[in-house]
Amino acid sequence: MALNNRIFYACQAVCICKTGHMPADGVAGVNAAMIKGVQSVGITSNFTLDQAFELGQIEIYENSEEIADIEVTIEKVIDGNKLIYGAACGNSVKTDMVAAGKGRADIYLGIYTDGASSVGSTSPLQVVMCSGMYVSSVSYTYPSDGNATESCSFVGNDKFWTDTTAQYADAKGTANPSGNYANPTTPFGGTDSSVTSPGSGLVRRTNVDIQNCTLPSAVKSQTGGGTSKSMSHHIVSMSASTDFGRESILELGKFGPYHRYAGFPVEVTSEFEVTATSGDLVNVSGTHPNLGAGEQITLKDDAGTVINLGAKNKLSSVSYSGGDTGGGNATVTYSYSTFNAFNVDGGGAYW
């Protein structure tokens, strides 16, 4: 087998499959998706060791191995193509955060020759499969000076390279995951574009649909009342994120966990940076409550992405800064918090 001299962006591709399905299953269905617009991918394996010592000697008595943790992080641009979160957890991400939290995915990273212009013209030299991964955290960021992005991290306990055999210390005995591998069927033919159907093109600041977003009153307080897509709110950036806080359930007689549950209640946060024109305009009293009822937050863009954070968002902090002698502008950052409401629609149909 030929070896690469290096691995760079043009010789890698990521596929996310519903657990138990292979990359080839995405050709005529929704159970697998080659993720387009990926900017970065990382895989970290952490081995946990538990030490025991004894009276009477300085040397370690035993250094026991505990469950290894696998973490995968993927970031992509928002472009109308399938989102990472939806590909991993299915259509439930659009309507039900609890159901989405139970979703599991097999994540494939194909490494191709560094001598080809696109991965669509060749087969991978190596494939790594991270099996049974759970979504750990999700974030969406809309900046004013770059592309809108989606970032997801996954946690699990199984990672296999091509043609490796895994030994499980439980009733399953020996399992060979090589039978689950398939050369990811790729749509990357060398002339791929973000506007290729069904993509809509990259989401940049002009593609954020502020006019149809539902925003808290404080975020709109600087000016407002405009008729353009920006509504003259002077929003510099906005983001929404959540962390499922995964915990393992263990049982006697088995090495690995039988489930990694989401730690509900799960906090959902959003943040808005606004160019200040009149201060932060948030009054605070020490003699009575300040926030009132919660507020609806819904973020939308021209790619069809809709991020619904529900109607119970409350202001958690406001920060006024900048405008110093260095010549910068003053900005206000409004941070909001809610729980268990994080529905994301966009990118088409999922499993």
Same domain, yes or no: 105 and 155 = yes
Boundaries of domain holding 122: 9-50+58-180
Q: What is the CATH number for 21? A: 2.30.110
Phi, psi of 16 (to 5 degrees): -115, 125
Same domain, yes or no: 146 and 16 = yes
Question: Is beta strand 166-167 parallel, antiparallel or unpaired with respect to 174-175?
Answer: antiparallel
Phi, psi of 305 (to 5 degrees): -75, 130
Same domain, yes or no: 112 and 215 = no
Question: Does residue 176 form part of some domain?
Answer: yes
pLDDT of residue 122: 82
Question: Does residue 172 form part of some domain?
Answer: yes
Question: Does residue 350 form part of some domain?
Answer: no
Question: Does residue 96 form part of some domain?
Answer: yes
Sheet with 298-300, edge to edge strand ranges: 298-300, 306-308, 343-345
Same domain, yes or no: 20 and 168 = yes
**The last residue of a domain, from among 129, 163, 180:** 180
Question: Does residue 188 form part of some domain?
Answer: no
Same domain, yes or no: 129 and 230 = no
Same domain, yes or no: 153 and 215 = no
- Give the whole-angstrom CA distance, residue 191 versus residue 172: 45
Helix, strand, coil share (%) of the chain residues, nearest 5: 10, 40, 50
Nearest Cα to Cα of residue 147 among 237, 228, 209, 230: 237
pLDDT of residue 184: 55
Same domain, yes or no: 144 and 69 = yes
| Ramachandran category for residue 56: left, alpha or beta (phi over 0 → left; psi -120 to 50 → alpha) | left
Same domain, yes or no: 28 and 135 = yes
pLDDT of residue 119: 84
pLDDT of residue 226: 63
pLDDT tens sequence for the chain (351 residues)? 568 999 999 999 999 999 988 887 776 678 999 999 999 999 999 999 999 999 999 999 999 999 999 999 999 999 999 999 999 999 999 999 999 999 999 999 999 999 988 888 788 888 899 999 999 999 999 999 999 999 999 999 999 987 544 433 333 333 344 334 455 555 665 556 665 545 568 999 999 999 999 999 999 987 756 666 777 889 999 999 999 999 999 999 999 998 999 999 999 999 999 999 888 888 999 999 888 889 999 999 999 999 999 999 999 999 999 999 999 999 999 999 999 999 999 988 998
- Give the whole-angstrom CA distance, residue 17 versus residue 108: 8
Same domain, yes or no: 162 and 213 = no
Same domain, yes or no: 216 and 281 = yes
pLDDT of residue 295: 96
Total structural domains in the chain?
2
DSSP 220: T
Are the C-beta atoms of residues 200 and 303 closer than 8 Å to each other? yes
Are the C-beta atoms of residues 80 and 200 closer than 8 Å to each other? yes
- Taking the alpha carbons of 198, 204, 210, 213 in that order, is the dihedral positive or negative? positive
Question: Does residue 145 form part of some domain?
Answer: yes
Question: Does residue 17 form part of some domain?
Answer: yes
HSE value, Cβ hemisphere, 13 Å, CA-based, for 227: 0
Same domain, yes or no: 139 and 273 = no
| Ramachandran category for residue 227: left, alpha or beta (phi over 0 → left; psi -120 to 50 → alpha) | alpha
pLDDT of residue 189: 56
205 three-class SS: helix
Are the C-beta atoms of residues 17 and 34 closer than 8 Å to each other? no
Across-strand partners of 241? Answer: 139, 269
Question: Is beta strand 259-261 parallel, antiparallel or unpaired with respect to 247-249?
Answer: antiparallel
**The last residue of a domain, from among 180, 196, 217:** 180
Nearest Cα to Cα of residue 44 among 139, 202, 186, 154: 154
**The last residue of a domain, from among 142, 163, 180:** 180
Which tokens in the block code for residue 63? 């250094």
pLDDT of residue 117: 86
Question: Does residue 186 form part of some domain?
Answer: no
Same domain, yes or no: 29 and 153 = yes
- Give the whole-angstrom CA distance, residue 231 versus residue 245: 36
Across-strand partners of 71? Answer: 44, 155
